[in-house]
Amino acid sequence: MYRNIRKNTDARRLGLYIAGGAGAAYVGFKLVRYAVSALFPSKFPGEPNTALLATPRPHLPVKGSFAINEVGVEDLKDVRAYDYIIVGGGTAGCVLASRLSEDPAVSVLVIESGHSDLRQLFSRFPAGYTNLFKTAADHDCATAPEKECANRSMQWPQGKMLGGCSAINAQIYNKGAPDDYDEWASQGLEGWAYNDVEPYMRKAECFTPNQAQQTLNDDDLNTHGTSGPWQTGYTYLSSITNVFLEAASQAGFPRIADTNTSKGMNGGVRFQTFISKNGQRSSTAVAYLTEEVMKRPNLAIATGVNVTRIIFDTSSSSARAMGVEIASGPASPVRYLAKAGQEIIMSAGAVHTPHILKLSGLSPASE
């Protein structure tokens, strides 16, 4: 009996040592990360204090709630100004930030509700993405119940960090069906036909072929870019993949080599991914917000804050977006203002772009 008590005591003591060591390691990691962030800001892009990037303004409640129209264009008179303000530092926002700031004559502010993707270790590991769902790196959206889905509400992850969904998704690289682009153009969306956008896809891409995993002919290879910042190609091949593709062929689905061509995407195929040659995720934050880009003095990135509304000048018959209001939280006593000299670009994704527009008054009155 004494031995059992002794063993239990030793096991509890060992557990406490392990827990204490893990806690100390976690605290040490946090301290090292903050030290690196302070000494080398470019290692953790987007970490500067928002007060240094925008103009603070007291935010007082009106009749117990926050009034939608309490900020007007007159409040933008003496606030911090940029040529371009990009709302959302996600998949598109990182590309815009990099491309626009190539011109040293213009200033760019990016506003992202999440933090740097470098804070999220599982974002870099291709197989770790599911560990990001329902965390601080995920807006954790859900669909409304639909009768076509047995009245289920479906999980809808939305990346909440620099890189957005390209930093949280399953890393499948797919350009989309050419017919879809052409249909948009036929309905009046000028400049969005497949032949119009395909050169930009090639410009973005650095494709690494792997003929041992998937044989592509010269025509297919020529549809891919090889000098862009975004690394794409073929990654790990499970042994069951070829069995699945063979079963698809037997079921009548054609076997195709590449879905990312003008020939379309109907058939059984090995997916291409945006995983780099060293086995890490190549999100748009990784591809476009490199250390060299982050050193540009004309590029500022505010993270961990939300745009609460766009501020319009309505003094003429045609309203013009002039600035944004920024908040660190719904109950924050301080809001920040920033003014745009040229454009405010909405790139907050399929969910949050219309959300912000509605908060700004651009919606049916009932909403």
Average pLDDT over residues 242-251: 93
**Quick check: 276 and 264 in contact, CB under 8 A?**
no
Closest CA to 236 of 275, 205, 283: 275
SS3 119: helix
Per-residue pLDDT at 69 = 46
Three-state secondary structure call for residue 243: helix
Report residue 99's pLDDT band, with 50, 70 and 90 as the boundaries: very high
Q: Are 289 and 97 in contact (CB under 8 A)?
A: yes
Ranges 62-66, 76-80, 340-344: which has the least confidence: 62-66
Q: What is the DSSP letter of 43?
A: G
Reported pTM: 0.83
To which H or E segment does residue 8 belong?
helix 2-39
Res. 90 pLDDT band, cuts 50 70 90: very high
The end-to-end CA distance of the chain, in Å, is 70
pLDDT computed for residue 14 by the predictor: 72
Q: What per-residue confidence (pLDDT) applies to 363?
A: 87
Determine what percent of the chain is predicted with pLDDT higher than 70.
86
State the residue for tokens 């219309």. Answer: 354
Residue 21, pLDDT score: 75
In sequence order, the 6+-apart residues with CB closer than 8 A to the CB of 231 are 206, 208, 274, 275, 276, 277, 282, 287
Has residue 192 got a pLDDT over 90?
A: yes
* 204 has pLDDT over 90: yes
Q: Report the pLDDT value the prediction gives residue 67, as an integer from 0 to 100.
A: 47
Report the mean per-residue pLDDT for the chain. 86
Task: Render 269-335 in DSSP notation, one character per residue.
Answer: -PPEE-B-TTS-B--HHHHHS-HHHHT-TTEEEEES-EEEEEEEE-SSSS-EEEEEEEESSTT-SEE
Residue bearing the bigger pLDDT, 160 or 119 = 160
198: pLDDT strictly greater than 50: yes
Q: How far apart are the C-alpha atoms of 338 and 55, rounded to whole Å? A: 6
Which carries the bigger pLDDT value, residue 220 or residue 251?
251
**Which residues are within 8 A (CB) of 206 and not within 5 positions of it... i.e. 6 or more apart?**
225, 226, 227, 228, 229, 230, 231, 232
Q: Where are the alpha helices (DSSP H) in 49-147?
A: 91-100, 121-124
24 has pLDDT over 80: no
Q: Give the residue-averaged pLDDT of 346-354.
A: 95
Task: Give the pLDDT confidence score for residue 47 in this predicted structure.
Answer: 57
How many Cβ atoms sit within 10 Å of the Cβ of residue 114? Answer: 27
27 pLDDT band, cuts 50/70/90, is: low
Which are the contacts of 81, defined by CB distance < 8 A and separation ≥ 6? 107, 338, 339, 340, 341
Is residue 68 pLDDT above 50, yes or no? no
Kindly report, residue by residue over 158-189, the tens digit of the pLDDT.
999 999 999 999 999 999 999 999 999 999 99
Q: What is the pLDDT of residues 312-333, one digit of tens each?
A: 998 888 889 999 999 988 777 7
Residue 140 has pLDDT above 90, yes or no: yes
SS3 104: coil
Distance between CA atoms of residues 36 and 21, nearest Å: 22
